[in-house]
Structure 1
Amino acid sequence: MNLIDLLGLLVYFAILILIGYRSARKVSNSADFAVAGNKIIWPVLFATLAASFLGGGASMGRAGKTFAEGYAFMFAASAFPIATVLTGLYIAPRLKRYTDAHTVGDIMAHHFGVSARLFTGIFSLVFCVGILGAQALAVGTVFHTILGIEVATGILIGMAVVLLYSTVGGMWAVIQTDVVQFLMLAVFLPLTMLIGIHELGGPAALVERLPEAHLSLMGDYSIGMFVSIFVAFLLGETLVPPYTQRALSAPDSRHARIGYSVAGGFGFLFYFVSATIGLIALVLYPNISPDQAMPALIRDILPVGITGLVLASLLAVVMSTADSYLNSAAVIFVSDIYKPFIEPGVGERKRLWIERIVNLLIGIGAVIFALYATSIVDALLLSYALWAPTILLPFVFAVLFDLRCSRSAIAAMLAGALVTIFWKWGPFDLQAATGLTALIAGVITNVAVFTLVYRCFRVLPRASASPNAQ
């Protein structure tokens, strides 16, 4: 890499660390660390949410999958921005009814009791660490492809910076760095796509040099495979803890609705950009590893002075997701596990320090996970199986319909988790026998058990019930 590009990358890291240092002075209590004092207006909410979900999977992972499988993967994975728009319209505004809520567990406890909070906290924590590990692997892949250093070394360098600013600055630092990172990805990744298309001689030249299947709606997918991927992205990351925290950080339901919906709309554009970059890389570098498609394009076709900035924007999209999941995991541990079940009387100052310590420890755990993961998207899909079949649907049902039945939520979470685990790692190949993936089987079980148990043990909503979270 040219010295000018390297200096640009170093300046970017310095800016992130400076933001973390300045943000630390704004963090005086747990609410500041967890939801930035509920002061995030919709333009900022849009930027931070978009930067958070457009991470290593949405950029490098999607480019890599499109490199290997064509636009069909982009069409299937577009389920996630669809889910985000729907969430913004119908669910995010309702989350502001829960005064002082910081986590999904706070809301689950309000509807389903303290036991549901504990199980929600455990499943959410494992999920966040898995997604965080996928982002750490993406950071290492960028450093390896661009600078030629070992993936493990790149993981350690990139995650060290994320750990530094997110630990000291909490959500204030995460949101401010996300805005910087969003602005970079919104400019430089489309610029990379345009330069790549120009390098090939225009859009027509790109289309002519691609396999026909890479341009079709279904590609080489069977209908079952396409539907499985669509459902995985429709449910796998919807309302996950960091994104729910973003809605809770808004000052009111209007800001939550607009910020969430606009972020979902932006996702369609970004997915097209990252997928097209993958196809450009396929034409130029047909023999590279799919996960290296985007970094290789950045390394080889961009002019001096731009490469460092685009590399920084690529790291930005990955690090913005990593810091979100890191902060969320720390808040989940303290709010849903430590405070209610270990030290209910913990003081505000001690709670803040515990969140910072846990933030650091979870980051280290995610680095270890990343060192053993094999693929960015595979790591994401594995983590998705820990969310949709356990927490998502009871959470949505509770928020939309004000349901209250502890037994139904706990039974649904445990049954969904057990079926997913057995389906994926059991002694029989149930996916081949039934055509259902582990995630879909777990979701079906989750809904069926929740419905059955709820009908047997439901508690009718009280007319005077307060929407305040416990």
Structure 2
Amino acid sequence: MNPIDLLGLLVYFAILIAIGYRSARKVSDSADFAVAGNKIIWPVLFATLAASFLGGGASMGRAGESFKEGYAFMFAASAFPIATALAGLFVAPRLKRYANAQTMGDIMAHHFGSGARLFTGIFSLIFCVSLLGAQALAVGTVFHTILGIEVSTGILLGMSVVLLYSTVGGMWAVIQTDVVQFLMLAVFLPLTMLIGIHDLGGPSALVEQLPDAHFSLMGDYSVGMFVGIFVAFLLGESLVPPYTQRALSAPDSRHARIGYSVAGGFGLLFYFVSATIGLIALVLYPDISPDQAMPALIRDALPIGITGLVLASLLAVVMSTADSYLNSAAVIFVGDIYKPFIEPGVSDKKRLWIERLVNLLIGIGAIVFALYATSIIDALLMSYSLWAPTILLPFVFAVLFDLRCSRSAVAAMLSGALVTIVWEWGPLDLQAITGLTALIAGVIANLAVFTLVYRRFRGTMPDTNH
């Protein structure tokens, strides 16, 4: 890398560390660490939410899949920004009805009791660590492609910075760095796309050099495969803990609604940019690994002085998602597991230090996960199968319809998890036999059990002692 570009990258890292240091002085209690004091107005909420969900999967992962499959993958994956916009209209504003809530477990306990809080915390924690691993893998891939260092070394280097500023600064640091990272990705990734198209000779030249299937709605996907991917992205990351935490950080329902909805609309535009970068890389570098499509284009197609800034923006979109999941996992462990079930009388000062310690330990666990993941998208889809079949539907039903029952949510979460595990890792290839993916089978089981148990026991009130 040119020294000028390397300097730009180093300056970016220095800015992140400085933000973490400044933010640490704002974190005086657990509420500051978890929800930034409920002071995040909608423009900031939009920026931090967009930066969080447009991470390694939305940028490098989607560029890589478009490299292989064309725009068909973009159309299938667009289910997620659509789901985000819908959540902004119908769910996010209602979350502000729960006074002092910091986690999804707080809300689930209100509707379904302490057992639901515990299992929400456990499943959320597993999900956040695995999603964080996908982002760590993306960090390592960027460093490998741009600097030529080992992926594992890149993971350790990039994640060390994330661990530093998120551990000391909590949600305040995460949100401030997210705003910086959002501004960078909003400018530099579209710039990369435009420069790449110019180098090819314009949009018509790009179209002429790609197979027609790369521009069709479904490409080479079968109907079942396309629907499976669409459903995975529709449900797999919707209202996950870091995004719900953003809504809880808003001062009121209006800011939560606008911030969420605008972020969903921006996501559709950003997916197009990522997918087009993947197609440009296919024409220029047909023999590279798909996950390297975006980093390779940044490395080779951009002029000196711009490369370092765009590399920093690429790291920005990955690290902004990583820090969100890291912070959320620490808050979940302390708020939904440690405080209610291990030390109910924990002081706020001790709780803050435990959150910081857990933040550090979970980051290390995610690094280990990243070292074993095969690709970014594989890691994302593996993580999605842990979320939609367990927590999502009971949570949405509770918030939208004010349901209360001490047994339905726990039964649904455990049933959905069990069916997903059997479908994914059982002795029979149930996906081939039934045509249903593990995620869809788990969601069906979750919905069926929740409905049956709720109809039978809806008169039982939840235990909210914890």
Identify the TM-score tier after normalising by the shorter chain. over 0.9
CA distance in 1, matches of 2:134, 2:53: 13
- Answer yes or no: is 1:53 the counterpart of 2:38: no
How far apart are residue 461 of structure 1 and its match?
8.9
Please give the root-mean-square deviation of Cα atoms over the aligned residues, in Å. Answer: 1.2
Report what 1:238 is aligned to.
238
Report what 1:465 is aligned to.
none
How far apart are residue 274 of structure 1 and its match?
0.2
- Answer yes or no: is 1:10 the counterpart of 2:10: yes
Report what 1:100 is aligned to.
100
CA distance in 2, matches of 1:71, 1:366: 30
CA distance in 1, matches of 2:253, 2:279: 40
Report what 1:21 is aligned to.
21
Report what 1:166 is aligned to.
166
Contact 1:420–1:439, Cα closer than 8 Å, also in 2: yes
Contact 2:405–2:461, Cα closer than 8 Å, also in 1: no
CA distance in 2, matches of 1:208, 1:452: 55
Contact 1:71–1:275, Cα closer than 8 Å, also in 2: yes
Report what 1:261 is aligned to.
261
Percent of counterpart pairs with the same letter? 87
Cα-to-partner distance string for 1:88-133 (whole Å, 9 max, x where unaligned) = 0000000000010000000000000001000000000000000000
Cα-to-partner distance string for 1:392-426 (whole Å, 9 max, x where unaligned) = 00000000000011211000000000000000000
CA distance in 1, matches of 2:455, 2:223: 34
Q: After the TM superposition, which residues 168-187 of structure 1 pair with which residues of structure 2 at under 5 Å, given as runs? A: 168-187=168-187
CA distance in 2, matches of 1:45, 1:156: 29
CA distance in 2, matches of 1:208, 1:300: 22
- Answer yes or no: is 1:398 the counterpart of 2:398: yes
Report what 1:226 is aligned to.
226
Report what 2:252 is aligned to.
252
Report what 1:333 is aligned to.
333
Contact 1:71–1:219, Cα closer than 8 Å, also in 2: yes
Give the secondary-structure state (helix, strand or coil) at the position aligned to 1:292.
helix
CA distance in 2, matches of 1:158, 1:247: 27
CA distance in 2, matches of 1:460, 1:345: 28
How far apart are residue 459 of structure 1 and its match?
2.7
Deviating runs (4+, > 4 A) in structure 1?
none
- Answer yes or no: is 1:443 the counterpart of 2:443: yes
CA distance in 2, matches of 1:348, 1:430: 48
How far apart are residue 469 of structure 1 and its match?
12
Report what 1:147 is aligned to.
147
CA distance in 2, matches of 1:96, 1:469: 22
Contact 2:17–2:164, Cα closer than 8 Å, also in 1: yes
CA distance in 2, matches of 1:104, 1:233: 20
CA distance in 2, matches of 1:194, 1:459: 59
Contact 1:388–1:439, Cα closer than 8 Å, also in 2: yes
CA distance in 2, matches of 1:425, 1:342: 32
CA distance in 2, matches of 1:442, 1:436: 10
Gaps of 5+ in 2: none
Report what 1:86 is aligned to.
86
Gaps of 5+ in 1: 463-467
Cα-to-partner distance string for 1:262-311 (whole Å, 9 max, x where unaligned) = 00000000000000000000000000000000000000000000000000
How far apart are residue 365 of structure 1 and its match?
0.3
Contact 2:45–2:260, Cα closer than 8 Å, also in 1: yes
Report what 1:311 is aligned to.
311
Report what 2:208 is aligned to.
208
Give the secondary-structure state (helix, strand or coil) at the position aligned to 2:237.
coil
Report what 1:120 is aligned to.
120
Cα-to-partner distance string for 1:354-375 (whole Å, 9 max, x where unaligned) = 0000000000000000011110
Task: Count matched residues.
Answer: 465
CA distance in 2, matches of 1:176, 1:140: 23
CA distance in 2, matches of 1:158, 1:146: 13
What letter is aligned with 1:378? Answer: D
What letter is aligned with 2:292? Answer: Q
